[in-house]
Amino acid sequence: MSTTPLFTTPSPSAPSPATTKRLLPPPDKLALLITNSKSTKQLLKLHAALYRHNLHQHPILHFHLLRSYSSLNRLHYSITLFNQTSNPNIFLYTAIIHSLAQHKLHQQALLYYSQLLADSLQPNAFTFSSMLKSCPLKPGKSLHSQTIKFGFDENLYVRTCLVDVYARGGDILSAKKLFDTMPEKNLVSSTAMVTCYAKQGQIAAARELFDEMQEKDVVCWNVMIDGYTQQAFPNEALVLFRRMLKAKVRPNEVTALAVLSACGQIGALEAGRWIHSYIENVGVKVNAQVGTALIDMYSKCGSLEDACLVFGRLHDKDVVAWNSMIVGYAMHGFTIDAFRLFNEMVRIGLKPTDITFIGILSACAHVGLVDEGWRFFNSMKDEHAIEAKVEHYGCMVNLLGRSGQLEEAYKLVKNMKIEPDSVLWGTLLGACRLHGNIYLGEKIAEYLVCQNLANSGTYILLSNIYAAKGNWDGVAKVRTLMKESGVQKEPGSSSIEVNNKVHEFLAGDLRHPKSKEIYMMLDEINGWLKAEGYTPKTDIVLHDIEEEQKEQSLEVHSEKLAIAFGLISTQPGTTIKIVKNLRVCLDCHAVTKLISKITGRKFLMRDRNRFHHFVNGSCSCGDYW
């Protein structure tokens, strides 16, 4: 580390300390002035004054100077100041270690800790808590042994930091053991443990501990709300957010990011709009990060207009915000707008990222623009020095597969420089199902089973390929394999938000309080469809059953139940928004087009692949999805 003097001693013509010392405040007030300095310039003036009055080696003032330079992001000043100190004491060592740890320079902090020991100084509790702050797991374990050696492992603050180290490192057993043996638990240690449970997917354990906590600050609430969001429990996240507001805890930017993500997951537009209004009213600044979360939420909730408004009003847009808007256009099938935004972004000098190209390639895939897709894919490396990831290959496989170029897609996967994952193979298998290619489908499925990459989707797609061809023996064989492997099919579900509440339906669902009215509406819908001459697409029912049973099976799909509920629960002319967890089926797609024409309503459906805007008998996807 550099030991070049940063500050010079006063010139011989400067007034002597003896004649001017009385002009300075006492050391305790000087320390306060140093700590409260708001700028480097102000701090440098104070430091120069200490030199003039021969107080630059005063241990307390030295300590505060070092900490203040670091807090003003002048860490190199702190390091130089420390290195110029002869015989630094434990407090100065702790200050420099704390400063380095705050800047996540853990390796350098460890070097100073080693130097401390070499100088025969004994670390204290503050030394260890400073060292352990945001420390990675591996050096954290070594420091744990040091806390035991010096007798600080039982100290409340040190133990709290140790719990945090193990929790952040994902070592849940060690974190729990340390936490459970703490004689006194504080807010920080409990929050660290809640975070650990939530990140490791043990959401029930996280909630149990959260509920036991007598004291909760906004950080603790945020951890639990975000835990639900990250583990795909968005409804629970929103319920907990409402409880947070009732508890009079003021939300902050982190809260906003978590709850907006939860709204996006379930398509809760009304809740998202209310949260947008609320966070602005309580003073949460709509910066680039919050603005991006709003764009993402509005796009996923079906209101591309609101997403565009937020994007247009957002100042200092970074590449993440541009990416979010491009992805929003892509998921709605507005490919031209996605291209326009990409070109504008490049024109103003923003460098595209790998996420930018995921959005652009998805936009190409949604409308079958194979040539444009190849052009963008090749330009990633040639023009923007971005190496393609598995997600980019997945977009290309989806584009080629849906366009019927199965062999080209298969060749691309086989020649990849990186290892394809099960999602990528599943995309190709889905294309085989779409185009009825049994030979390639069997080949891929056999490979996935042999490589232990097969999941429920693998078996379902292969079963569907056989069923579409009437190969019921093949279907039976796959179902036997599924049973032997313990694999279960993911149930299809559809949700709709009405009066700020999300209602979820499964196929043939009878759990809803208004089931009787819903099924009466379904009967009425069936009457409309028959009057229009609609014939149910029973060939997509992949079961060896009679035609009448196939029709009955189609009538109670989750999408249709959600639509029926929407029709009886909203005013005529209201747009009905549906979120489906799987790909919308061919029959439900055709039926929704007809219902939009008959009722004069707009239907917006988000499935696993994209958005469908149904208006006056047609869909924005052009029947390509």
CA gap 319, 356 in Å, rounded: 8
What are the structure tokens assigned to 460, written together?
């379902």
Radius of gyration of the chain (CA): 31
Query: What are the percentages of helix, strand and coil residues in the chain, rounded to 5?
Result: 65, 5, 30
Cα distance between residue 459 and residue 288, in whole Å: 42
pLDDT of residue 340: 97
| pLDDT tens profile 262-298 | 999 999 999 999 999 999 998 888 999 999 999 999 9
pLDDT tens-place string over residues 180-197? 999 888 999 999 999 999
Cα separation of 176 and 181, whole Å? 8
Place of tokens 């204290």: 124
| 194-198-202-206 Cα dihedral, nearest 10 degrees | 30
Tokens of 500: 């700020």
Termini Cα distance of the chain:
60
pLDDT of residue 461: 79
- pLDDT given at position 539: 59
**CA-wise closest residue to 607 among 499, 495, 510, 502:** 495
pLDDT of residue 194: 96
pLDDT at 134: 80
- What's the whole-model pTM score? 0.82
Question: Which H or E run contains 295?
Answer: helix 288-300
Dihedral angle over CA of 150, 153, 154, 158, nearest 10: 110
Q: Decide if 587 contacts 580 (C-beta within 8 A).
A: no
Residue 2's pLDDT is what? 42
To the nearest whole number, what is the mean pLDDT of the chain? 89
Which residues, 6 or more positions from 388, have their beta carbon under 8 angstroms from its beta carbon?
Answer: 377, 380, 381
Asked if 79 and 96 touch (Cβ cutoff 8 Å), the reply is yes
- Residues of the chain below pLDDT 70: 1-23, 538-552
- pLDDT value at residue 550: 52
Q: What three-state secondary structure class fits 153?
A: coil
Q: What is the pLDDT of residues 534-553, one digit of tens each?
A: 887 765 554 444 555 555 67
* C-alpha torsion 193→194→196→201, nearest 10: 150
Q: pLDDT exceeding 70 applies to what percent of the chain?
A: 93
Tell me how far CA of residue 34 lies from CA of 61, 85, 86, 95, 126, in angstroms.
Answer: 8, 18, 21, 15, 21
Residue 286 dihedral angles phi and psi, to the nearest 5°: -85, 80
Which pLDDT tens digit goes with each residue over 429-482?
889 888 888 889 888 888 887 787 777 778 777 777 777 777 778 778 878 877
Phi first, then psi, for residue 346 (nearest 5°) are -65, -40
